[in-house]
A and B are shown apart, each in its own frame.
Chain A
Amino acid sequence: MKQRISPMLLLGGGISLLTVCAALLGAFWTPYNPTAVSAGEKFCPPSLVHLLGTDNFGRDVFSRVLQGMGASLLIAACVVAIGCLLGTAIGCLCGYFGGPADFLLTRLCDVVTAFPSVLLALVVVSLAGRGTAQIILALGVLFIPSFARLVRGEAARYRDASFIQSARLMGVSHSRILLAHILPNLRGVLVPAIVIGFNNAILSEASMSFLGLGVQPPFPSLGSMLSDSQTYLQRAPWYAFSAGAAIALLILGFSLLGEGLQRRRRA
Chain B
Amino acid sequence: MRILEVEGLSAWYTQGKTRRPVLRDVTFHLDRGEVLGLVGESGSGKSTLARSILGLHRDWEGRVRHYTPRPQMIFQDPYRSLNPAHTLLWTLTEPLRAAGVPEARRRERAMALLDRVGLAPELARRYPQELSGGQRQRVAIAAAVIARPGLVVADEPVSALDVTVQRQILELLMDLKREYGFSCLFISHDLGVIYQICDRVLVMEGGRIVEENDTDALFAAPKHPFTKELLEAAE
Which residue of the partner chain, among B71, B86, B144, contacts A184 with CB atoms under 8 Å?
Answer: B86
- Interface SS of A by simple majority: helix
Q: Which of B46-89 contact A (CB under 8 A)?
A: 54, 56, 70-73, 75, 77, 80-86
CB distance from B139 to the nearest CB of A (A): 11
Let me know if B80 and A162 touch, CB within 8 A: yes
A38 within 8 A of B: no
B54: chain A residues at CB < 8 Å are: 169
* Number of A residues, CB within 8 Å of B: 17
Let me know if B75 and A162 touch, CB within 8 A: yes
Assembly CA distance A168 to B130 (angstroms) = 25
Let me know if A163 and B71 touch, CB within 8 A: no
B71: chain A residues at CB < 8 Å are: 169
Let me know if B94 and A167 touch, CB within 8 A: yes
Let me know if A166 and B99 touch, CB within 8 A: no
Which residue of the partner chain, among A1, A171, A181, A187, contacts B83 with CB atoms under 8 Å?
Answer: A181
A101 within 8 A of B: no
Scoring A residues 115 to 149 as 1 if CB is less than 8 Å from chain B, else 0, what string do you get? 00000000000000000000000000000000000
Let me know if B70 and A172 touch, CB within 8 A: no
Scoring B residues 107 to 130 as 1 if CB is less than 8 Å from chain A, else 0, what string do you get? 000000000000000000000011
B85: chain A residues at CB < 8 Å are: 184-185, 187
Let me know if A165 and B73 touch, CB within 8 A: yes
Let me know if A163 and B70 touch, CB within 8 A: no
Let me know if B56 and A165 touch, CB within 8 A: yes
For A168, the closest partner residue in chain B by CB is: B56
A5 within 8 A of B: no
B95 within 8 A of A: yes
- A residues sitting closer than 8 Å to B (CB atoms) are 1, 161-163, 165-172, 180-181, 184-185, 187
